[in-house]
Every structure is written in C-alpha cells, then in structure tokens.
Amino acid sequence: MIWVGWRQQRTETLIAAALLAALAAVLVPTGLTIASAFHDGRLAACIGHTEEGAGACGAAVQAFGARFANLSALLAWATVVPGIVGILLAAPFVLQLEQRTHRLDWTQSITRDRWIAGKLGLAIVTALAAALVFTLMITWWRAPFVRLQGRMGNSIYDSEGTVVAGYALFALGLALAVGAVWRRAVPALMVAFAGYFAARLFVDTWLRQRLVSPLTATFSAKGRGPDLSRAWVLSEHPVDRHGHAIEFIGCPRDAGACRVNGTTDYVQAIYHPASHFWPLQLVETGLFAGAALALIAFAAWWTHGHA
Amino acid sequence: MSAALQLEGLGKRYGTTWALRDCSLEIPEGTVTALVGPNGAGKTTLLEMVVGLSRPSAGRLYALGLSPDRDARELVPRVGFVAQEHPLHRGFTIAEMLRLGRELNPRWDDALARARIERLGLALGRRVGKLSGGQQAQVALTLALAKRPELLLLDEPVASLDPLARREFLTTLMEAVSDGGLTVVLSSHIVADLERVCDHLVILSQSRTQLAGPIDDLVAAHRLLTGPRSDPATVARVHQVIRESHTERQTTLLVRANGHVYDACWEIHPVDLEEIVLAYLGYAPAGPLREAVAG
C-alpha cells in the first residue's frame, strides 16, 4: 500500500517539493546576504540596545532593517505556503474519489480501512515533512532579524515554531473533509482554501491574542517601563494614576486641555512578552492540529461509508 | 454443484426507491452467467453488493459461501471485479497498474498478467490514459484475472466498446474461463454476444428477477406459437404466456411451455435467446405485456 499511496500522490508531492525548492532558491542567497550584512555590521553587539537613542547601534540596526525591509515584507507572504501544500496533498485523495478509481483499489484484496489509513497517513506525513522543511528554512533566514527584534511580530510568529505544522495539517484536513463529501476536486479544494484563509485571518486578527492572557503593565510615562521591544504590544494608552483609561471624548481638539494634574503621566500597556512565544505557539498549534485531526477523521469515516 | 452466488430476497433501496427488490437466485459454481436487463434494472447494484461496494437493504447474500458484509477480508481477495467504464488510474503506465495489482493482492499472478499484456501487444511503459477504450478494458480484465479470483464479476464490460474490441474482450474472457476454476457473472444489456460466452442467464427487469437458469434449458422451454387470431386464455391455462401480439388475422404468443404444446391450432416455432430476453424485458409478472400491432 505504501508504494501505491506514494505513486498516487507522487505528482502533488513533487509540486509541493518544487514549491519549497523555489522558496529555497529565494531564501538561501538572500539569507546568506542577510547573515553577512548582520555580521559585517557587527549587529550582534547591538542586541538589546535597539531602542532609540542608543547611538551608533540604533543607526546600524535601522539601516539593516531598511535594507531588507522589502524582502522581509515579501517573505511575509510565505505564510500562505503551508496552506497551499496542505490543500495540494489532499488533491490525490479527492481526485481519486472524483474519478471513482478508489473503487478499483477497494476491489483488490485490501480492506477499506487499510486503504484509507495508508492514503491519509501518507498525506499527513508528507504535509508534516513539508511544514518542517518550511519552518527550518524560514527560521534560518529570519534568524538575524529575530535576534534583533524577537519573534512576536505577526508576520514572523506564524512561520516559526510549531504553528506551521498545524496550518498545513488543517488545510489538508479541511480539503479532505470537503472533498470526501463533495467529490469534485477543483471546487472542493477552492472552497477548502477559502475556508483555510478565513480561519487563519480569524486567528491572526482576533483569536491569537486571546489564547494566553496578556500581561498588563502600568508605568510612569517619565520613568522606564517594561522592555517592550521584543513584546507583542496589543495596546498602549494613557491612564490615570489608578489605571483607569482617560476619556478623550468631549475634549477639545488639543487634548492637552483635558489634562488634569498630570494624570496622563501614566501609561498602560497590554502585551504578550517574548516569553509567551511558546505558550501561544503550542496552544495555536493544538487548536489547528486538533481541528485537522477531527476533519481527517471525518473524511475517513465518510469515505468509508460512501463507496 | 454448490452455489458461487446465492441471493435470498436481496434488496437495495436508495431513499424511497428500490434499485433491486426481492431478488432470489442461485448461480452455480463454474458457470458463466449473463445478467441481463435494461438500464436501471439493478444489475450494477447487484454486482456492487457482491463485491462489497454497496450494502444490501434487505435479504441475504452469499458469495463463495461468504457474506460480503461480515467476511469482506476473506471474500474480497477471491472476487475479481471489473466496474462499468472500467476506471483505471489514468496517469499510471501499464507496468504501474500491474505493480498496483501485485502490491494490493496477495494471490497476484504476475507471470499471468505480463503474459496477457504481451499477448495484447501492449508495451508496459504506455500510459493507461492514452490507451483506447478496448485496450483499457483489456487491462482492467487482466488486472481482475491476475488476482486469481474464484468469482469474476464484470459490469457492462463491453457496452462502451466497438464490435471488434468487444469480440476480442469476450475471447480473452472465454480463454480465461476455459482455464477452469472460475465462475463468471457478466452484466449486459447487449444480448447478441452473450450466447457465445454464457451458459446461464438471469433476467432482471423492474428491479426483480424475471427469469434465471441454464441458457439451453431456457431456450428449450420457450416456444413461439402462431395461429389464427384468438384469445390466448386457453394456452395461458397450461403454459406461461410471456408476450402476445395480435394482427387482424393472426396471434403470436411467446410462451414458456409447460411440457409439450399439443394444441393443433398453433404452429410451433423455436425461439432464440435474444427474442426470449426481449420478451422478458417487457414482461411484468402480473400478466403478459400486450402488444397490439395495428394492421
């Protein structure tokens, strides 16, 4: 069954590999340039001194960031790759249901259970391998930036750690589930991609910050607050001495007129510190992978019952 | 002779519609049975239930003495199945199709498969999707035969083939049968070729079995009676009238004779298989189909 499963998803696996190879073709040369720029600029010495006013370091870090800003922004789009790979790897299964060739396989000597387990197992393993390769490449590429800025930024966070595996599995599971019921590959995979995109958008913009309780710090605007340079800051707003938000509603245009006795001397920040990286990653990965397993189990069960 | 296939009141319902209903029959081992009926008569449904692709809604079904539902693990390796339109993996080469057969079937006979492909004059490296319909059918049949089945089910295997490909396909099938140890059930709505290949016949119509038995016996049991126009009631008292047609002067009856027909009013002719099949396809068990032929 392993050979059969591999042969039936060979084309899609090769396309996924080509996709990753194309990404590598961009990442490897640019990554080397970035690494040498980081080294030549002696930026390692600046880690921890990136805040404004740190003199030569501030300028060097800024120049480094500016030089690779476009590339960095471009690479933020790489976050769609795990989804595409997941959907792609669901294609052979759905295509086979569409062309009804699963019935040919089922009327050989193999049981349905073994066939389904073999096909889906192979797709899962391939998706995980692709996610691993993707994560390693991006993590290596981004390492200099991460050393300077941390990895809590949205476009960095979602291609590091374990979440990529969750995304790839979720895309795979969603495409399998929709495809198992619909049995028309092209529309099913398109709908699955739209669903995947919507789920990612929902998690990115709303859910993720709520997965782990953020920290709240109130501190004097004049003094030094907590180091937020590597944190994911959800909000930062002026408060009064007791931590109540200051209402600007009804104030004249220059808000200064509202200031009463220096009450805005305090600032409240709600944020995820860098130490929340792994708790957030693991919870988010668990959510996506759990949903993925439920979807894959559904696809297996439905396929089993519908020859 | 024990039964390769035994159905007792078998039925399959999709929603509120019965695709097959109250079907009872026995197919002896070592026979080649034609399952004949119009489109939608339940032939495909029946074959799919035997091979376990579909589950009966009613009744019982034993293939090689096993239940496809409970003993699938034991039964499926012993049953060969060629589905309608014989879907194959179009992107595979022929060699890869054979490899699939080898990987998925413990009793796979690779030498047999290769010999058959060679005899067909097909190169192993050719893509299945690029083969003609007849060649694809042959590859599908090879795949089913190399599995070394005891029971081979073919669903409309020749319906989509041109006459030449049809003949070649049936020749291959007959050779396989002559090797022995194989029971074949073959569904079709084309009657012409069947007589050459099959020794048993089952007619399915309106989701029920209308007729089943050895072809020779069935042909021998049916008669065409022609005589002056008359009411067939007297004949119907003794024999089963399958079809009656009348012109102004003449009445023609196709009957399943219960012994000899002694009535001197009738001229008695033998009938061929095709005529019998056609008569039964229009036959409803409640009574004979009336065909009034004008003029």
Distance from C-alpha of A230 to C-alpha of A212, rounded to nearest angstrom: 17
pLDDT > 90? residue A253: no
Alpha-carbon separation of residue B155 from B34, B51, B132, B186, B279 (angstroms): 10, 11, 19, 6, 22
Residues B184 and B224 grouped into a single domain: no
pLDDT > 50? residue B132: yes
- Burial group, residue B220, by CB count within 10 angstroms (0-12, 13-18, 19+): exposed
CB count, 10 Å around CB of A14? 11
B54 located within any domain: yes
Q: Which residue of A has its CA nearest to B144?
A: A108
At B259, list the tokens. Answer: 């012994």
Distance from C-alpha of B113 to C-alpha of A186, rounded to nearest angstrom: 35
Of A145-154, A216-225, A229-238, A257-266, least confident by mean pLDDT is: A257-266
Average pLDDT on B13-22 reads 90
Q: State chain B's mean pLDDT as an integer.
A: 88
Of all residues in chain A, the percent with pLDDT exceeding 70 is: 92
Which of A106, A109, A111, A306 is most worth mutating to test chain B (most B CB atoms within 10 A of its CB)? Answer: A109
B211 located within any domain: no
Residue spans of beta strands (DSSP E) within chain A:
215-220, 232-239, 266-272
Residues B93 and B151 grouped into a single domain: yes
Write the DSSP string, A88-139.
HHHHHHHHHHHHTTHHHHHTSSS-HHHHHHHHHHHHHHHHHHHHHHHHHHHH
Considering the entire predicted model, what is its pTM? 0.89
**B72, B88, B104: residue with CB nearest A101:** B88
CA distance A115 to chain B (A): 9
Interface of chain A toward chain B, CB-CB under 8 angstroms? 1, 3-4, 7-8, 11, 99-101, 103-111, 307
CA distance B206 to chain A (A): 24
pLDDT > 90? residue B210: no
Domain count, chain A: 2
Residues A75 and A191 grouped into a single domain: yes
Average pLDDT on A68-74 reads 89
Residues B226 and B168 grouped into a single domain: no
Residue B105: its chain A contacts at CB < 8 A?
108-109
Residues B127 and B266 grouped into a single domain: no
CA distance A305 to chain B (A): 9
- Burial group, residue A80, by CB count within 10 angstroms (0-12, 13-18, 19+): middle
Output phi, psi for B85, to 5 deg: 60, 10
Residues A37 and A157 grouped into a single domain: yes
Residues B174 and B65 grouped into a single domain: yes
Q: Which residues contact A14 (CB under 8 A, 6 or more apart)?
A: none
pLDDT > 70? residue B290: no
Residues B169 and B121 grouped into a single domain: yes
At A224, list the tokens. Answer: 């030094």
Residues A37 and A166 grouped into a single domain: yes
What pLDDT, on a 0 to 100 scale, did the predictor assign at position B238?
83
**B51, B73, B96: residue with CB nearest A107:** B51
What pLDDT, on a 0 to 100 scale, did the predictor assign at position A257?
44
At B99, list the tokens. Answer: 């490899």
Which of B94, B100, B128, B143 is most worth mutating to test chain A (most A CB atoms within 10 A of its CB)? Answer: B100
- Burial group, residue A44, by CB count within 10 angstroms (0-12, 13-18, 19+): exposed
Residues A155 and A288 grouped into a single domain: yes
Residues A55 and A111 grouped into a single domain: yes
At B123, list the tokens. Answer: 């190169």
What pLDDT, on a 0 to 100 scale, did the predictor assign at position A95?
96
Residues B182 and B49 grouped into a single domain: yes
DSSP type of residue B66 = B
Which of A9, A104, A115, A119 is most worth mutating to test chain B (most B CB atoms within 10 A of its CB)? Answer: A104
B10 located within any domain: yes
Going by pLDDT thresholds of 50, 70 and 90, the confidence category of residue A219 is confident
Q: Which residue of B has its CA nearest to A103?
A: B53
Residue B89: its chain A contacts at CB < 8 A?
8, 101, 104
Which of B50, B70, B89 is most worth mutating to test chain A (most A CB atoms within 10 A of its CB)? Answer: B89
Residue A107: its chain B contacts at CB < 8 A?
51-53, 76, 79-81, 83
- Return the SS3 of A240: coil
pLDDT > 90? residue A51: no
Residues B161 and B85 grouped into a single domain: yes
Residue A9: its chain B contacts at CB < 8 A?
none
Query: Does the CB of B95 have a partner CB in chain A at under 8 Å?
Result: no
Contact A109 B147 (CB under 8 A): yes
Highest mean pLDDT out of A161-170, B83-92, B175-184: A161-170
Query: Does the CB of B105 have a partner CB in chain A at under 8 Å?
Result: yes
Q: Which residues contact B258 (CB under 8 A, 6 or more apart)?
A: B238, B239, B240
Highest mean pLDDT out of A52-66, A67-81, A114-128: A114-128
Going by pLDDT thresholds of 50, 70 and 90, the confidence category of residue B291 is very low
Residues A86 and A182 grouped into a single domain: yes
Contact A103 B77 (CB under 8 A): no
Q: Which residue of A has its CA nearest to B53?
A: A307
Domain boundary among B175, B205, B235: B205
Going by their DSSP bridges, the two strands B3-14 and B151-155 should be labelled as: unpaired
Residues A243 and A184 grouped into a single domain: no
What pLDDT, on a 0 to 100 scale, did the predictor assign at position A21?
97
Q: State chain A's mean pLDDT as an integer.
A: 89
Residues B98 and B233 grouped into a single domain: no
pLDDT > 80? residue A182: yes
CB count, 10 Å around CB of A297? 14
What pLDDT, on a 0 to 100 scale, did the predictor assign at position A46?
81
What pLDDT, on a 0 to 100 scale, did the predictor assign at position B295?
35
Domain count, chain B: 2
Residue B127's domain is classified under what CATH number? 3.40.50.300
Average pLDDT on B89-116 reads 96
Average pLDDT on A172-176 reads 98
**B48, B77, B89: residue with CB nearest A109:** B77
pLDDT > 70? residue A250: no
Q: Are B269 and B226 in contact (CB under 8 A)?
A: yes
B212 located within any domain: no
Going by pLDDT thresholds of 50, 70 and 90, the confidence category of residue B10 is very high
Query: Does the CB of B179 have a partner CB in chain A at under 8 Å?
Result: no
Going by pLDDT thresholds of 50, 70 and 90, the confidence category of residue B289 is very low
Q: Which residue of A has its CA nearest to B146?
A: A108
Residues A96 and A18 grouped into a single domain: yes
Residues B85 and B142 grouped into a single domain: yes
What pLDDT, on a 0 to 100 scale, did the predictor assign at position A229?
83
Smallest CA-to-CA distance from A91 within A185, A195, A191, A177 is with: A185
Contact B53 A307 (CB under 8 A): yes
Rounded to the nearest angstrom, the gap between the alpha carbon of residue B288 and the centroid of all alpha carbons in its chain is 23
Residues A110 and A237 grouped into a single domain: no
Distance from C-alpha of A116 to C-alpha of A297, rounded to nearest angstrom: 10
Contact B103 A100 (CB under 8 A): no
pLDDT > 80? residue A234: yes
ipTM of the complex: 0.87
Write the DSSP string, B83-140.
-TT----TTSBHHHHHHHHHHH-TT--HHHHHHHHHHTT--TTSBGGGS-HHHHHHHH
pLDDT > 70? residue A93: yes
B214 located within any domain: no
B213 located within any domain: no
Contact B79 A107 (CB under 8 A): yes
Residues A129 and A261 grouped into a single domain: no
Contact A108 B106 (CB under 8 A): no
**A109, A111, A307: residue with CB nearest B54:** A307
Going by pLDDT thresholds of 50, 70 and 90, the confidence category of residue A248 is low
Query: For residue A168, what are the domain limits?
Result: 2-212+275-305
Of B27-31, B99-103, B217-221, B289-293, least confident by mean pLDDT is: B289-293
In tens, the pLDDT along A2-32 reads 999 999 999 999 999 999 999 999 999 999 9
Residues B179 and B68 grouped into a single domain: yes
Going by pLDDT thresholds of 50, 70 and 90, the confidence category of residue A261 is very low
In tens, the pLDDT along A114-137 reads 999 999 999 999 999 999 999 999
Residues B183 and B254 grouped into a single domain: no
B58 located within any domain: yes
Query: For residue B277, what are the domain limits?
Result: 219-292
Distance from C-alpha of A206 to C-alpha of A193, rounded to nearest angstrom: 20
What pLDDT, on a 0 to 100 scale, did the predictor assign at position B288?
43
Q: Which residue of B has its CA nearest to A98?
A: B87
Residues A185 and A58 grouped into a single domain: yes
Domain boundary among B183, B205, B227: B205
Residue spans of beta strands (DSSP E) within chain B:
3-14, 17-28, 32-36, 58-63, 79-82, 151-155, 183-188, 200-205, 208-214, 222-228, 240-246, 250-256, 267-270, 289-292
Average pLDDT on B84-102 reads 94
Contact A110 B83 (CB under 8 A): no
pLDDT > 50? residue A178: yes
Going by pLDDT thresholds of 50, 70 and 90, the confidence category of residue B293 is very low
Q: Which residues contact B19 (CB under 8 A, 6 or more apart)?
A: B12, B13, B40, B42, B45, B207
CA distance B112 to chain A (A): 16
Query: Does the CB of B257 have a partner CB in chain A at under 8 Å?
Result: no
What pLDDT, on a 0 to 100 scale, did the predictor assign at position A54?
58
**A104, A109, A111: residue with CB nearest B87:** A104
Residues A263 and A199 grouped into a single domain: no
Contact A99 B90 (CB under 8 A): yes
Of A241-250, B105-114, B173-182, B255-264, least confident by mean pLDDT is: A241-250
